[in-house]
Every structure is written in structure tokens, then in C-alpha cells.
Amino acid sequence: MKSFVFRKKAMNILMIGLTGLCTLMTGAILFFFLGYLVSRGASSLNWAFFTKLPAPVGEIGGGMANAIVGSGKVLLLATLIGVPIGFLGGVYLNEYAGATMAFVIRYATDLLNGVPSIVIGIVVYALVVHPMGHFSTFAGGVALGIMMIPISVRSTEEFLHAVPMSLREAAIALGASKWKAIVTVIIPAAIRGIVTGTMLDFARVAGETAPLLFTALGNQFWSPGWNHETATLPFVVYTYALSAYQDWHRQAWAAGFVLLMLVLGINVTARLILSRGSYRPSGGA
Amino acid sequence: MATTPTLDRHTLPSGGRVRSFIKRLRAGEEAAYLLTLAAAATILLITSLIFYELYVQSALSRHKFGFHFLFTQTWNPVTGDFGALPYVYGTVVTSVLALIIAIPQGLGSAIFLAELAPPKISDALAFLIELLAAVPSVIFGLLGMYVLVPILQSSVVPALRTVFGFLPVFQGAFYGVSYFAAGVVLSIMIVPFIVSISREVLLAVPQEQREASLAVGANRWQTTWHVVVPYALKGIMGSIFLALARALGETMAVTMVIGNVPQIKASLLAPGYSIAAVIANEFTEAVGDLYTSALIELGLVLFLVTFVINGLARLMIMTTTRQGAHS
């Protein structure tokens, strides 16, 4: 009996210790890597990085101004494509869809969310790049836009769903038509959540590289308009990291650092906004 | 589930059907409905279009090679012979290795955070780990190439060899880039997924379950292991499947550390290749319809596999918590 009690206690302490160790390891590994990136990246960063074009192969120096602008353009286009479709789809899902339609659309959305990003790249290549005959900012925007849709749908749906029924009933009782109630009461009540959902969505595709390999490609120079191939930050991280030049490696670290700060910055801001209060889906976002 | 029964648009007062439709259209009612319906239909359209494009564009390769495509080893663009076995092998080996490392570590962390740690510490750590799930994969690739691979080379692999050197999986030359490096990078990337979803699933277990167990004299660990974890098991399995789907489709990080050599080796220390990596490396340079079509067929394979695994995962998570279905 005594040894049983002892074993029970020892097991308790041992397992709490072991699981604690797992947590510590998870945290430590990730922080070691990211800490390394921050220190190496920050020390590689300079003003030229933001203002200059890439230097010709073999020359030291230069920057990635074109990749920063390129990423901005691709992401702008992606947001313009992905967010309206996702938002309106989410409104349909929560406000209009019957049970069967809701199931079908939710299923399609989950499926789309699970498609590996490289596969999206192939499809956009076949649908946009191949018919147009060349790589372009536009194609990159389409690829990332498609990737933005599923998260946008689900976050819109979730936050609309969290709006209390009494608000809808009050709006209807005052004589508002259904869409008036949606536009003037329900969406404003959920807007904070929807905006943060969109920010998280944006941050997720900002770091996507694989779909851009076959759509936006890359470019050592400025890319005028929407119809030419363009450099983007994640793409330069990839190509520069694989190159044979020391100075390009340095710039890859700098670009990785900028990208990481962008993504984490948006994430933290979004979560802070959300924690300031909003109708929230049960169990957190 | 989401609609309000009292406000269903079909219960709106109806006069003459056409007239009331025009009236509602003018009032914006029908227009708003049609607009959102169009957006929802677009989602369906895009999802079907992805499958359709992959299926049609890979026709050439599917007809020529049939199922042999997945089981033969020759990949020769010059002679037009395409067999994907080395890529399939690499994808499976690296993903399984990643799971072997990530499951105990991720589950241990999730259990600690959900059941054993004080709530404040748990929330703060969970927040940080969720942030880490947002780190782009190309950054993991960069870190894998320049930080992880040297560490593996200088200390981890020699240590593993002194202990497990007799196993075939740890024999042969080690140049750094390898199945092993890719598996380790993948495991680091998927741990945050397993932790954050499993933690949520564990937190969704009703408090009464724990109280009942504690009341009959079980201690914290016994309650956790014999009551809470079995209750949440389906959801935990779901989180593992989601992580697996992500590992299988992961492109950038794997491409940067796997070595990109199309071969099948028993040793984990040998360089290899994966499905996503070969698409990333060869797609834009593929010459000829058959070559492109073979690469697209690889995309189709990836699509179908992740489709099945994701479906299973969602099903399992959904049955445990409604919330988990869209995390």
C-alpha cells in the first residue's frame, strides 16, 4: 500500500516535470532560432536595404527597395481580391445560408484552406501566367488572394456568429429590413473582430513564398505596373539564401528579419486590438 | 445552425412573387442577398477549379504512366520517363520523422499548459507559441540552412551515432542537408500547431470530469492521463493530422535543407528530395508538355493526400469541440 502511494506521488511529480520540460524545450528551441535571426538580421540591416536596388552580381552592397515595393503591391492586390470575397462569403454563411448550403460552403472553405500553397502556385500558373504568357505582379496577387479567402470567410463567420441574437431582434423590431439590420447593426458590432481576422490573414500570406515562385517570380529591377514579374521579400530571402555570395547571405538575413518583424508586428497588434473587447466566439479566436 | 429562424428571408411577407422580388431588389434586400451568394459561390468555384485544373492539366502524364507513376524511380526529362517514387518516399520519411519528434514534445507541452501550469503562465506561453506558428516557412528554411544544419553536423548527429550508430538509419556519410535535417525543421514548424490546438481541445474538457476524478482520490497526473486525455483524444488526434497535412505540403523549408537529390536511401542522413521540393525547383524550368504534366500530377497527388488528411482532422476536432473546427 505504502509503495503504491509512493509510486503514485513519484509519477505525478515526474510527469509534471517531464511535460514542463517539453514546454521549456518548445519555447527554448523557437526562441533560440528567432533570437538568432533577430541578432543576425538586425546587424545586417542598413539604410541602403530600404532605398537601393540590388547590386549587380558580384558587387557588394545594394538593397531591396524593389522587393519591398513588390511585396506591397502583391499584398495589396491579394487583399483586394481575397478580403471582399471572403467577407461577403462569411456574411452569406452566417446570415443567409441554410443548413445544407452552410455545410457545403464551410467544407469547400476548409478544403481550400488545406490546399498546400505550392499547389495554388501551380493552378494560378495554369490559369493566369500561361494564358498571359509571362509572370506578373497580377498573378502573384491572385495566388495570395486565393489563399486569403478561407481565413477571411471563417473569421467573418465566427465573429458575426458571436453577435448576440438580442441585437438582431432589436433591429428588426425597430422596423429595419434584414440587410439594413446586417449592415447597420450586426456588422458594426462584429467589425473589430473581423478587422483583426483580416490582419492575421494578411500576416499569414505576407510570408508565403511557394505560390510566388511560379507567379510573381523575381526581378532584379523595379517592376512597373502590374504586368511584369516582380521581386518580393519572401522570394528574395529564398533566392539570396541559396546563392553563393556572402553579401547576398547577409541581405537574406536582413530581408528575413524585416519579414519576421512585419508578420509578428501585425500579429501582436491584431491580438491586442481583439483583447480590448469585442463580441468574441466562445473559447477565444 | 447560424441563421436566425425568426428572421428567415422566406418568412418575409410575400405579395405577387415577381412584384415583391422587384420591390425587395429596389430596397436592396435581394441585391444584398445575391451579392453575398455570389461571393459564396465564388469560393465553391475556386475550390472546384483547383481540382479541375490539376486533373485536366495532368492528363498527359496520368494516361501515359498510370499508377506506375507513383512506384517507379526513373525521373528523366530527356527520355520522357517519369516516376515519382523518390519524391513520395522523401515526403513520407520527412513527415513521419517530424511527427515522431513533434508528437511527444507537442503533446507534453499542451498537457502541461492546459492541465498543470498556472493559468497565467499558461496563457502567456500559449500566446507566444501561437505567435511562433505565424512565422513564415521561408524563415524556417533560412534558419535551417545556416543554424540547424551546422548544429546537427557538429554535435547532434555524432551524439546520435555513438548511441544508435548500429541502426541502418544512422549510417553512411552525413553532409548536413538530408532527410534528417528536413524532418527536424518540419518538427520545429509543426510543434506550435499541435500545442495550440491540443491545448484548446484539452481546455474544452468539462470541469466535472476532472472534479469527479479528483474526488475519488486521483492526483493531478492520474486525472490528466486517465480522464482528461482520453476524453480529448479525438481532438488531439485531429491536431496531429492537421500538423501532418502541413508537413506533407510544406515546400520552402524542406527545399532548402533536404539536399534535392532524387534517390531512395535507408539512411536518414542521406540527402533526398520531396514532392513539394521538386515542384518548386523544376516547375518553371520544365520543358515540354509531358514534363510539366508530370509535375502537375505530383501537385494533384499532394492535393488529394492533404485533402483526405485534413478532412479526417476536421472531423475529429469537430466531434470534440465546435471551436476547434476552424482553428
Does any domain span residue A137?
A: yes
Work out the minimum CA distance from B267 to partner chain A, whole angstroms.
25
- State the cell numbers at B175: 553532409
Give the one of A20, A111, A122 whose C-beta lies nearest to B47's C-beta.
Answer: A111
Q: Is the pLDDT of residue A277 over 70?
A: no
Does any domain span residue A217?
A: yes
Work out the minimum CA distance from B249 to partner chain A, whole angstroms.
5
Give residue for cell 499532394. B302
pLDDT of residue B327: 38
- Please indicate whether, in this complex, the C-beta atoms of B138 and A94 are within 8 angstroms of each other: no
Does any domain span residue A95?
A: yes
Under 8 Å CB-to-CB from B109, ≥6 apart: which residues? A19, A22, A23, A25, A26, B129, B191, B195
Determine the Cα–Cα distance for residues B8 and B277; give it in Å rounded to an integer. Answer: 49
Does any domain span residue A9?
A: no
| DSSP tally for chain B: helices H, then strands E | 16, 2
Does any domain span residue A113?
A: yes
Mean pLDDT by 10 residues, chain B (327 residues): 48 60 72 91 94 93 88 86 92 96 94 90 87 90 93 90 86 88 94 92 91 90 92 91 92 92 90 94 87 93 92 79 45
Q: Is the pLDDT of residue A40 over 50?
A: yes
CA-closest candidate to residue B228, choices B105, B99, B107: B107
pLDDT of residue B188: 93
Q: pLDDT tens digits for A88-137?
A: 999 999 989 888 899 899 989 988 998 999 999 999 999 999 898 889 99
pLDDT of residue B183: 95
Cβ pair A136, A129 in contact under 8 A: yes
Burial tier of A174 (Cβ tally within 10 Å: 0-12, 13-18, 19+): exposed
Interface list for B 216-235 with A (CB within 8 A): 219-222, 224-225
| % of residues, chain A, pLDDT over 90 | 47
Does any domain span residue A99?
A: yes
How many distinct structural domains can be found in chain A? Answer: 1
Average pLDDT in chain A:
88
- Please indicate whether, in this complex, the C-beta atoms of B219 and A108 are within 8 angstroms of each other: no
Q: Which CATH number covers residue A113?
A: 1.10.3720.10
Give this complex's ipTM.
Answer: 0.89
Q: pLDDT tens digits for A205-245?
A: 999 999 999 998 888 888 888 888 899 999 999 999 998 88
Predicted structure pTM score: 0.89
- Sign of the alpha-carbon dihedral angle for B283, B286, B292, B298: negative
Interface list for B 178-197 with A (CB within 8 A): 188, 191-192, 195
Q: Note down the domain range covering A245.
A: 48-275
Using CA coordinates, name the residue in chain B closest to A156: B326
Say whether B115 sits in a helix, a strand or coil: helix
DSSP annotation string for A45-73: --HHHHHSPBPPTT-S-B--HHHHHHHHH
